[in-house]
Amino acid sequence: MLKQRVMTAIVLVAGLLAGLFFLPPLGWLLLVATVCGGAGWEWAGLSGWRDWRRPVFALAVAGACLLLGVAGGLTQADAAPHGAIFASYVVSAMFWIVLVPNWLKHKWKIERAAGALVVGLVVLVPPALALVHLRQIGPLVLLAVLVLVWVADIAAYFSGRAFGRHKLAPAISPGKTWEGAAGAVVGVLVVGFALLLHFSPAALDLHSPVLIASLFVLLTGVSIEGDLFESMLKRQAGIKDSGTILPGHGGILDRIDSLTSTLPLAGLAVFWMLHA
């Protein structure tokens, strides 16, 4: 099992880096839209759709990503993204910052197909657009954001294993602890400021370090929410993994749960830091 996980991870990272640095803008958008469609297929499965709605939703999600990306100027290296891109980020930010904390607290269930449709679009499309937008700004910018999300996950795991005593959300994800969350915050702060000092020291001169640190803490908290949100949906659906497409890792949603919540906020934050 471990060997399978490692091999899959190597293939995923190699494919990600190849696409990130070598695909043209339209090729990257097509790749992201395809992955988004796969995630849409798994979301439909979590929603209990086993009929024609499942492929239709997957195609709709991929199509929305593709159409909004082209219409929003994300296939042109020197074009400013259309306002609709940022509007999707704002909707996503409100969803994760305002709605999801209450959702996790009360453990709401998505009872109706219309709700699953709307929530699925909010969860999947904005982060897909952010993947294309951040790469448009610069491949290293997107890679830095991805690294921060991965650091949060890894730091939470190891600090939770070493120091975890107090459960964060035992009814949703028994393995997560407040100590793990604290370790994630520390890890993101250290790595985040190190990346800024190395790649963009001017950002620390233009913006308050306290404000930047607050953004890092917010992004870390939201990344944990994304993980918890998918864990709750899987528990409600009575499944362990969202899919089986990634040997040893489960499904696409299992790998991007933290990214779905983090990427749109990162898109807003990076744009603000570059243009404020």
**Distance separating alpha carbons of residues 25 and 27, to the nearest angstrom:** 5
Give the tens place of pLDDT for each residue, 2-16: 577 778 888 888 999
pTM of the model: 0.93
pLDDT above 90 covers what percent of the chain? 68
Q: Which residues contact 187 (CB under 8 A, 6 or more apart)?
A: 151, 152, 154, 155, 156, 159
What's the confidence (pLDDT) of residue 206?
72
What's the confidence (pLDDT) of residue 275?
65
Stretch 152-164: mean pLDDT: 93
**Distance separating alpha carbons of residues 123 and 154, to the nearest angstrom:** 23
**Distance separating alpha carbons of residues 229 and 2, to the nearest angstrom:** 25
Stretch 188-195: mean pLDDT: 95
What's the confidence (pLDDT) of residue 89?
94
Does 130 score more than 60 pLDDT?
yes
Give the tens place of pLDDT for each residue, 20-67: 999 999 999 999 999 999 999 999 999 988 899 999 999 999 999 999
Give the tens place of pLDDT for each residue, 64-123: 999 999 998 898 876 667 788 999 999 999 999 999 999 999 999 998 999 999 999 999
Nearest alpha carbon to residue 228 among 274, 265, 264, 260: 260
In Å, what is the CA distance from 125 to each residue of 74, 128, 196, 207, 226? 14, 5, 28, 30, 14
Nearest alpha carbon to residue 36 among 2, 8, 60: 60
Nearest alpha carbon to residue 39 among 131, 175, 102: 131
Nearest alpha carbon to residue 88 among 275, 271, 220: 271
Does 131 score more than 60 pLDDT?
yes
What's the confidence (pLDDT) of residue 33?
97
Stretch 181-188: mean pLDDT: 97
Does 1 score more than 80 pLDDT?
no
